[in-house]
Amino acid sequence: MKPRAIVLRAPGTNCDLEAERSLELAGARPERVHVWALLQGRRRLEDFDLLVLPGGFSYGDDVSAGRILANEIRRFEPLRRFVESGRPVLGICNGFQVLVKAGLLPDPEEGRQSVSLAFNASGRFTCRWVRLRTSPSACLFTRGLPETLELPVAHGEGRFAASSKGELDRLAGRGQFPLLYIDNPNGSARDVAGLCNERGNCLGLMPHPERFWSPFMHPDWTRRRPGPEGLGLGFFRNAVRHVC
């Protein structure tokens, strides 16, 4: 049977359809579910095999990016158990911001927020394709991906920062930076584009893999030799493969 995937949405989420399509192409049975359906008990997180928190501007990012949605789910115990169970959790852009501010990345068991996603160093919203490289880690989402790849970014608060150099060293030493920028678009410390938990089943990243599920989504596809699918689909295939 195809694994069941939940795409968690909230007011202002706008990448849930792309995430749903990517999961479908990767072999899952995706369903978009509003956060209040979970919080009010109308849907059970335990019924799903993997979770995606898509990008967008949840609640308009009125307080700060992802903050309101993070506050809603911070004490939602089924979500913490879901991560601790080893099931795949992917937070993309706004979803990454939510995972960090909800305390689920980088170390949910430690109960402290040692990293943040701050305003871009340029002071501007950045929307373009960037080059990335994968880094050795336990992250299940990046297994088998090319050493270098390209994905689009679209954010105003994506600059990765940590509380200290020692914290950056600690996370790097534990292999929690599986995805790095080659051409850093926002001034992130250590060129960090993605952060996973030590176990490798929970990943947050600012680039959008769900916007590259088809090779023809790349702006330069006419001059490239497009493969059968976009490289972004690999993140979702890895999650489905892990569950299966």
Segment 142-190, tens digit of pLDDT: 999 999 999 999 999 999 999 999 999 999 999 999 999 999 999 999 9
Identified catalytic residue from 18, 150, 210, 218: 210
Closest CA to 236 of 161, 141, 115, 156: 141
210 is catalytic: yes
Most confident of 40-44, 59-63, 104-108, 221-225: 40-44
Q: For tokens 């050493």, what's the residue?
A: 147
206-232 mean pLDDT: 90
Q: Tell me the pLDDT tens digit for each residue of 29-39.
A: 999 999 999 99
| Percent of the chain residues topping a pLDDT of 90 | 92
Structure tokens of 122? 């340029």
Identified catalytic residue from 15, 18, 93, 157: 93
115-141 mean pLDDT: 97
Q: How far is C-alpha 53 from the chain's CA centre?
A: 7
- With 70 as the cut, is the pLDDT of residue 110 above it? no
- With 80 as the cut, is the pLDDT of residue 106 above it? yes
pTM of this prediction exceeds 0.85:
yes
242 is catalytic: no
Task: Tell me which fold the domain 4-243 belongs to.
Answer: Rossmann fold (3.40.50)
Alpha carbons within 13 angstroms on the beta-carbon side of residue 200 total 16
The pLDDT confidence band at residue 221, using thresholds 50, 70 and 90, is: confident
pLDDT at 149: 96
pLDDT at 112: 63
pLDDT at 29: 98
Closest CA to 168 of 192, 198, 193: 192
pLDDT at 122: 96
Residues 6+ away with beta carbon under 8 Å from 234: 144, 145, 209
CA distance 114 to 164: 8
15 is catalytic: no
- With 80 as the cut, is the pLDDT of residue 111 above it? no
Identified catalytic residue from 155, 208, 218, 242: 208
> Which range has the worst mean pLDDT, 64-68, 103-107, 188-192, 219-223?
219-223
- With 80 as the cut, is the pLDDT of residue 109 above it? no
pLDDT at 224: 74
Structure tokens of 167? 């914290």
